[in-house]
Amino acid sequence: MKGFFKSSIGKKVLMSVSGLFLILFLLFHLCMNLVVVFSASAYNEVCAFLGSNWYAVAGTMVLAAGFLVHIVYAFILTAQNRKARGTDRYDNQNLPAGVEFASKNMLVLGVIVCCGLLVHFGQFWAKMMYAELAGTEGQFAPTDGAAWINWYFHDSPLAVAFVIVYLVWFAALWLHLNHGFWSAFHTVGLSNNVWIPRLKCIAKWFSTIICAGFAFVVIFAACGGINTKSDCCNKEKCGAKTECHQEAPCNPQTCPNAEQGK
């Protein structure tokens, strides 16, 4: 393997593998998000599960490493490619139909995705996982993910703007995935004349499902679909600051939070 990661194909393999890893992460993330559509409390349970635990932290570190590799190599490869292109540019270049828009603009799309990610981090990760780790308190409890979602996309005065930003973000992600998905397989050599069209087709379906899923959750929230005061305990009744995840109807006698709330 000596010198493998220095070779152009080696670097591309890093992009490919880290990309595939991120794709897998997106799939998990979507599954988690979709839970909120069915049950806010169930979603919050997931949030709690992925809160300040060693495995969640470890997972986050690995994920961050994946992102870092993907981003750093994206810039290294782009810089090299610009150099390889040479200093002179064509006066005009009409690429033939058939070259995907996304494939020519992966870096730009990637940067948009990253920007969206920063917004997303500020809105959720900082308020949830980080808050829990750091022990800071916010508007809602760090494990009350459903409440945060509801706030940003429904209750907040900037909700409409947030929804638009997120939809743009997903559109960029769709394009990025559309090329990235089959390209990743191509780069590690898992493709041939028969599989290129198949992979491209799978890529379309996959990225559409992922992005439409995310968008659906946002729009669902924007429409007020998330009932944060749902089947669990009633805050007015027991005065708890956080939800206790007890089965309805609420029983203040058994509610663990009722005590602290008093």
Partner 1 sequence: MAEGHKSLNLTLRVWRQANRQAKGEFKVYNVKDISTEASFLEMMDILNEQLINEQVPEGPVAFDHDCREGICGMCSLFINGRAHGPDDDITTCQLHMRKFNDGDTITIEPWRSGGFPIIKDLMVDRTAYDKIMQAGGFVSVSTGGVPDANAIPISKVIADEAMDAAACIGCGACAATCKNGSAMLFVSAKVSQLALLPQGKVEAAKRAKAMVKKMDELGFGNCTNTGACELECPKSVSISHIARLNREFLKANIKD
Whose Cβ is closer to partner 1: residue 95's or residue 157's?
95
Could you say whether residue 176 binds partner 1 (CB under 8 A)?
no
State which of residues 38, 54, 55, 83 lies at the interface with partner 1 (CB under 8 A).
83
86 forms part of the interface with partner 1 (CB under 8 A): yes
Tell me which of 84, 139, 157, 253 binds partner 1, using CB under 8 A: 84
- How far, in Å, CA of 122 to CA of 173, rounded? 19
CA dihedral defined by 169, 43, 30, 115, rounded to 10 degrees?
Answer: 20
Binds partner 1 (CB under 8 A): choice among 53, 80, 227, 260: 80
Binding mask 10-29 for partner 1 (x = CB under 8 A): xxxx----------------
Shortest distance, CB of residue 10 to partner 1, whole angstroms?
7
**One-letter amino acid identity for 159?**
A
The dihedral through the CA atoms of 104, 109, 111, 114 has a sign that is negative
Please count the CA atoms within 13 angstroms of the CA of 63 that sit on its side-chain side.
13
Q: How far apart are CA 165 and CA 62, in angstroms?
A: 27
Among positions 193-252, residues that touch partner 1 (CB under 8 A) are 193, 196
Q: Which residues contact 39 (CB under 8 A, 6 or more apart)?
A: 230, 231
**Closest distance between partner 1 and the C-beta of residue 231, in Å?**
48
Query: Using an 8 Å Cβ cutoff, are 172 and 217 in contact?
Result: no
Residue of 58, 72, 188, 201 that binds partner 1 (CB under 8 A) = 188
Q: Which of residues 90-149 bind partner 1 (CB under 8 A)?
A: 90-96, 98-100, 103-104, 106
Eight-state DSSP code of residue 125: I
Is the Cα dihedral 178, 181, 184, 190 positive or negative?
A: negative
Work out how close the CB of 27 gets to partner 1 at its nearest, in angstroms, rounded to a whole number. 22
Residues of the shown chain interacting with partner 1 in the complex, contacts defined by CB under 8 A:
1-4, 6-13, 77, 80-81, 83-96, 98-100, 103-104, 106, 179, 182-183, 186-193, 196
